Structure 1
Amino acid sequence: MRVAVQGCSHGSLSAIYDTVAEYTRRKGEPVDLLLLCGDFQALRNNHDFASLAVPPKYHALGTFHEYYSGARVAPVLTIVIGGNHEASNYMWELYHGGWLAPNIYYLGCAGSVMVNGLRIVGSSGIYKEHDYRKGHFEKVPYTPSTLRSVYHTRKYDVEKLSHLPPDVPTIFLSHDWPIGIAHHGNTRALLQRKKFFRTEVENNTLGSPPMLELMKKIQPDYWFAAHLHVKFAAMYEHGRDEKRKEVKEELKETRKQLEKVEVTDAVEVERRESVYDDVDLGGRHANPDEIVISDDDDDVPSPTKHVSNPDEIAISDDDDAPPLKPAAKAVGNPDEIAISDDEGEPANPDEIAVSLSDDELEDELDAALAMTSTSSEPTPAAEDPSPQPTAPASPSPAKREGPSTTRFLALDKCGHGKEFIQFLDIPAPGQQSPPRLTFDPHWLAITRALHPYLSLEVYGAALPPREEQEALVADELARIKEEGVLVPEELIEDDFMADMNAEFEAIERRESAAERAAAGLPEEEEPSGDPKSESDPLPQCAPLDWESADNIEVGRVQQFWPTAPPYPGGDAGQWYTNPQTEAFCGMLGIQNKVNPRPVLR
Structure 2
Amino acid sequence: MAVPAKYRQLGDFWEYYAGIRVAPVLTVVIGGNHECMAYMWELYHGGWLAPNIYFLGAAGSIYVNPTIADPSKATPIRLSGMSGIYKSFDYKRGHFETVPFNEKSVKSAYHVREYDVLKLKQLSRRKTKDVVDLFMSHDWPVTITRYGDERKLLQQKPFFREEAKSGTLGSVPALELLHHLAPAYWFSAHLHVKFAALVSHGKLIQDVRALPPAPTNTAHAGNPDEIALDDDEAMEIVNPDKIDLDMDDSDDEELAEEAPCTGTKSDQQVEVTSNQEEPANIPEESVDQVEKESDPEAVREKVHELAGTSMDDIMEAKDMILAEEETGTSEQDATKPGLETRFLALDKCGFGRDFIQFMDIPTGGPSTGPPRLHFDPEWLAISRAFHQYLPLNSSFAHLPTTSQIDSAMAEAQTWIDTNIMAQPFDVQTLENGVVLQPMDIEQVQTFCFTAPPHNAPEAAQPNQWFTNMQTEAFAGFIGVENKINPLPTGGA
CA distance change for structure 1 residues 467 and 408 in 2, over 3 Å: closer, same or farther?
A: farther
Q: Tell me, what secondary structure is at the counterpart of 1:126? A: coil
Can you list the C-alpha shifts for 1:15-34, whole angstroms capped at 9, x where unaligned?
xxxxxxxxxxxxxxxxxxxx
Contact in 1 for aligned 2:49/2:447 (Cα 8 Å): yes
**2:412 aligned with 1:476:** yes
**Does the aligned pair in 2 maintain the 1:191–1:197 contact within 8 Å?**
yes
Alignment CA distance shift 1:245-1:588 (3 Å): closer
Q: Does 1:320 align with 2:280?
A: yes
What one-letter code is carried by the residue in structure 2 that aligns with 1:205?
T
The whole-number CA distance in structure 2 between the counterparts of 1:199 and 1:228 is 15
Match of 1:242 in 2: 205
Superposed, 1:506-585 pairs within 5 Å as 551-568=438-455, 569-585=459-475
Pairs aligned (count):
371
- 1:572 CA displacement: 4.9
Matching of residue 184 in structure 1 with residue 147 in structure 2: yes
Choose 422-431 or 69-78, whichever is displaced more. Answer: 422-431
When residues 245 and 211 of structure 1 are mapped into structure 2, their CA distance, relative to the original with a 3 A threshold, is closer
1:420 aligns to 2:351 (yes or no): no
* Counterpart position of 1:459: 395
Superposed, which structure 2 residues align to 1:426-445 within 5 Å? Answer: 426-428=361-363, 432=367, 433-445=369-381
Matched with 1:591 is 481
Aligned pair in 2 of structure 1 residues 285, 552: CA closer, same or farther (>3 Å)?
Answer: closer
Write out aligned runs for 1:27-38 (5 A): none
SS in 1 for 2:187: strand
Equivalence for 1:148: 107
CA shift for structure 1 position 484: 2.1
* SS in structure 1 of the partner of residue 154 of structure 2: helix
In the alignment, structure 1 segments of 5+ residues that lack a partner are: 1-51, 250-283, 293-317, 333-399, 496-549
Contact 1:487 1:557 (C-alpha < 8 Å) held by counterparts: no
The residue type equivalent to 2:440 in the other structure is E
> Does the aligned pair in 2 maintain the 1:179–1:211 contact within 8 Å?
yes
Question: Which residue identity lines up with residue 344 of structure 2 in the other structure?
Answer: L
Return the alpha-carbon distance in structure 2 between the equivalents of residues 232 and 407 of structure 1. 11
SS in 2 for 1:113: strand
**Shift in Å, 1:200:** 1.0
**TM-fit CA distance, 1:455:** 1.3
Over residues 542-589 of structure 1, what are the superposed CA-to-partner deviations in whole Å (9 max), with x where a residue is unaligned? xxxxxxxx9410001001011112125434533410000000000011
The structural deviation recorded for 1:470 is 3.5
**CA root-mean-square deviation:** 3.4
Counterpart of 2:449, as a letter, is: P
Instruction: Tell me what 2:170 maps to.
Output: 207
For 1:482 and 1:330, the matched residues in 2 are separated by 58
Contact 2:372 2:440 in 1 (8 A): yes
Bigger Cα Rg: 1
Does 1:82 pair with 2:31?
A: yes
Report what 1:224 is aligned to. 187
User: For 1:344-380, what per-residue CA distance to the aligned partner results, in whole angstroms no more than 9, with x for missing partners?
Assistant: xxxxxxxxxxxxxxxxxxxxxxxxxxxxxxxxxxxxx
TM-score after normalising by structure 2: 0.69
CA distance in 2 between counterparts of 1:80 and 1:193 reads 27
2:279 counterpart letter in structure 1 = D
Percent identical residues:
49
1:286, CA displacement in angstroms?
A: 11
Question: What is the alpha-carbon distance in structure 1 between the residues aligned to residue 48 and residue 62 of structure 2?
Answer: 13
Distance between the aligned counterparts of 2:235 and 2:333, measured in 1?
35
Matched-pair contact (CA < 8 Å) for 1:140–1:575: no
Q: Is contact 1:140-1:574 (8 Å) kept?
A: no
Which structure 2 residue ranges, 5 or more long, are not aligned? 66-75, 213-232, 242-277, 296-331
Q: 1:218-259: per-residue Cα shift (whole Å, max 9, x none)?
A: 11000000000000000111022433577899xxxxxxxxxx
Q: Which residue of 2 aligns with 1:59?
A: 8
Give the match's secondary structure for 1:111: strand
Match of 1:105 among 44, 49, 54: 54
With over 3 angstroms needed to count, the CA separation of the structure-2 counterparts of 1:329 and 1:552, relative to structure 1, is: closer
**1:53 Cα deviation from its structure 2 partner:** 0.5
CA distance in 2, matches of 1:574, 1:60: 21
